[in-house]
Amino acid sequence: MVSEYANKVRGALEAAGLETPMINIGLSAEQKREEIAQHMAAVMDLLGLDRTDDSLESTPARIAKMYVNEIFAGLDYQQFPTLSLIDNKMGIDEMVTVADIDLTSTCEHHFVTIDGTAKVAYIPTDKIIGLSKINRIVRFFAQRPQVQERLTRQVLVALQTLLETDNVAVSIRATHYCVKARGIMDTNSHTTTTALGGAFRDDLRTRAEFLR
C-alpha cells in the first residue's frame, strides 16, 4: 500500500519534473531479487570469478537483496516513511533545523557510494513534522540511484509538499566514491548542493542563518 502522503509527494515531484526516471515493470520484490541475482551471477561469470567458491556463491543473491531491500528501496513508494504531522497549534514561526543527518546514497552513473551529511530546515506555518521523519525522508530519497542535485531537490519538494509551506531549505555535503575510488581518484574533494525555498531563497537574513 502506498500512503496518501507518499502519493502526494510523488505527484509533486512529477509536476516539478524532479521524479527519478522510473518505469513500472510490474514485478514483485521477490521476482526482482530472483532476476537480479541471475544477472549478477552472469556478471561474475564474465569477470571470470569462480562462483562455486564458498565465499562467492551467495554474492548474486546478496547483491539482489541489497539492491531491492536496502540501497534502492526508495524506488518503491510503499517504503515511504510513516509520518507524524501535527497542526501547529503552538504557533511556532521560527526556523527548525536538523543538521548532520547521516546520508549514504548511490551514484546513478556508476552505482558506487555517495557518503555525506544533510542539513534541513523549515519555518512552520500550519504543520509541524516529527523530527526523525526529516531524517527518514532524506534516507528514503537517498536509497535510490541518485545525482546529488536531484536528491537535494527531491527532499526540498517532498518537505514543502508535506509541510504545506515553501519555507524549506536543504543542503547536502558529500563525497562521491566515483570521484574518490576510481576515475580522477580525488580523495579530498567534496560536493555541496543546496536547494532553498520561500524565505530561505528570498530573505537574505534567513538564507544566511541557514547557510552559516
Ligand X SMILES: Nc1nc2c(ncn2[C@@H]2O[C@H](COP(=O)(O)OP(=O)(O)OP(=O)(O)O)[C@@H](O)[C@H]2O)c(=O)[nH]1
What residues form DSSP beta bridges with 153? none
> What is the C-alpha separation between 169 and 122, in angstroms, rounded?
6
Minimum CB distance to ligand X smaller for 148 or for 206: 148
Q: Is 107 annotated as a binding residue?
A: yes
Per annotation, catalytic residue among 110, 149, 190, 209: 110
Minimum CB distance to ligand X smaller for 18 or for 147: 147
Binding mask 80-119 for Zn ion (x = CB under 5 A): ---------------------------x-xx---------
DSSP assignment letter at 173: E
Residue 152 to residues 29, 40, 76, 117, 193: CA-CA distances in angstroms? 27, 30, 18, 11, 7
Q: Choose from ligand X, Zn ion, none: what does 183 bind? Cβ within 5-8 Å by kind.
A: ligand X
Does 182 bind Zn ion (CB under 5 A)? Our answer is: no
Minimum CB distance to ligand X smaller for 128 or for 195: 195
Does 190 bind Zn ion (CB under 5 A)? Our answer is: no
Give catalytic status of residue 108 as yes or no: yes
Strand pairing report for 168-176 and 113-122: antiparallel
> What is the C-alpha separation between 148 and 200, in angstroms, rounded?
20
Q: Which three cell numbers stand for residue 57?
A: 556463491
Just list the catalytic residues: 107-110, 148, 176, 178
